[in-house]
């Protein structure tokens, strides 16, 4: 038991170090940027685009903060303005697909998948979903009722205070990461050495195969679905090393998870905004399943085609 604990702790610290090197600088930079003219300038430039998505210009504020920071920053910005139910629902769907973009995409890229691909998929899903909802839904014109939550703006004076706030935020992010990743890695080591991981993978095998992946990808999917992309990436890195997850399956798992990760928490946080959350959950799940199955199908067709071509060349030369 002590050996399992030590091995799990060692892996947890290694993964925390790997992910921390990404999370710390990005959190620090983005937090400081909030207090500079950079974010307001980006928001101003994005305002015209909002109209095409059925949103008012002010919607650029929560969308930029949600993408640059996290869902909580986006939600805090939403309650600072008066929006309709439809606008809040569109923003909730968009931010569900593409929140915390810099950190989550950078961490996921540590598995070996392109940062640009991950970010591109997430932004595309956000824009396409917003456009479809805007075109298909004519309701939701009443003002959104925000319940009990309220925004809390931190007022800071001077670069020293801003820098200190940035460092504190980045350090808290690393501590939070360690508190989640280290126990998770110890638990995963215990599961792996007791043979329980294989049993869980077997149970989830039909679902992962439906998505076009091998069953050894199932624990990666479970981790991403429950605890999110940034923290789930720690398990993905370990899965690539120890569970023999192929490059193709890791790409497919990430495509699924960029569409649908931390699905319970990310859905529940929107309840206080007074929007229908079941459709939000269904949109993410259905999009993730359809997108992953489509990519798996195309990938398989291309692989089959590539295997056929050398055979044709060989038969041609023998003639």
Counting as low any pLDDT under 50, the low residues of the chain are 148, 150-151, 316, 319
Residues forming a β-bridge with 186: none
| pLDDT, tens digit, 9 for 90 and up, residues 51-110 | 889 998 889 988 988 898 778 788 878 877 888 999 999 999 999 999 888 888 887 777
Cβ atoms within 10 Å, residue 245: 22
Q: Do 223 and 187 form a contact (C-beta atoms < 8 A)?
A: no
How much is the pLDDT for 231?
Answer: 66
CA nearest neighbour of 86 among 312, 279, 288, 290: 279
- The set of long-range contacts for 116-125, using a CB threshold of 8 Å and a minimum separation of 24, is 118/254, 118/258, 121/255, 121/258, 121/259, 121/291, 122/97, 122/98, 122/258, 122/259, 123/98, 125/97, 125/98, 125/258, 125/259, 125/287, 125/291
Name, in order, each residue with C-beta under 8 angstroms of 61's C-beta and a sequence gap of 6 or more. 43, 77, 80, 81
How much is the pLDDT for 95?
Answer: 93
pTM score: 0.75
Q: Do 254 and 113 form a contact (C-beta atoms < 8 A)?
A: yes
Q: Do 173 and 24 form a contact (C-beta atoms < 8 A)?
A: yes
What CA–CA distance (Å, rounded) separates 260 from 225? 7
| pLDDT, tens digit, 9 for 90 and up, residues 223-253 | 777 777 776 677 777 767 776 778 788 888 8
Helix (H, G, I), strand (E, B) or coil at 154: coil
């Amino acid at each position: 038991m002590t050996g399992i604990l030590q091995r799990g702790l060692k892996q947890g610290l290694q993964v925390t170090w790997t992910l921390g090197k990404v999370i710390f600088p990005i959190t620090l930079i983005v937090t400081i940027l909030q207090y500079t003219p950079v974010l307001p300038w980006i928001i101003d430039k994005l305002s015209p685009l909002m109209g095409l998505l059925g949103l008012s210009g002010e919607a650029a504020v929560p969308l930029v903060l949600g993408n640059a920071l996290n869902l909580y920053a986006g939600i805090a910005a939403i309650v600072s303005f008066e929006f309709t139910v439809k606008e809040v629902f569109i923003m909730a769907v968009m931010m569900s697909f593409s929140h915390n973009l810099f950190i989550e995409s950078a961490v996921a890229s540590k598995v070996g998948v392109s940062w640009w691909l991950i970010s591109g998929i997430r932004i595309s899903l956000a824009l396409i979903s917003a456009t479809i909802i805007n075109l298909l839904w004519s309701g939701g014109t009443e003002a959104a009722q925000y319940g009990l939550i309220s925004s809390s703006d931190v007022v800071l004076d001077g670069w020293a205070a801003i820098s200190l706030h940035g460092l504190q935020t980045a350090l808290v992010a690393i501590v939070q990461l360690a508190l989640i990743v280290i126990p998770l890695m110890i638990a995963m080591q215990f599961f792996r050495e007791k043979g329980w991981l294989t049993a869980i993978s077997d149970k989830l095998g039909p679902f992962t195969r439906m998505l076009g992946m091998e069953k050894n990808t199932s624990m990666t999917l479970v981790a991403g679905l429950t605890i999110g992309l940034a923290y789930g990436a720690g398990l993905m890195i370990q899965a690539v090393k120890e569970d023999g997850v192929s490059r193709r399956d890791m790409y497919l798992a990430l495509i699924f998870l960029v569409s649908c990760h931390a699905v319970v928490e990310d859905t529940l946080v929107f309840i206080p905004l007074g929007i229908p959350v079941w459709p939000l959950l269904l949109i993410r799940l259905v999009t993730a399943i359809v997108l992953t199955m489509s990519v798996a199908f195309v990938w398989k067709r291309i692989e089959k085609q590539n295997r056929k071509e050398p055979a044709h060349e060989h038969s041609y030369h023998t003639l």
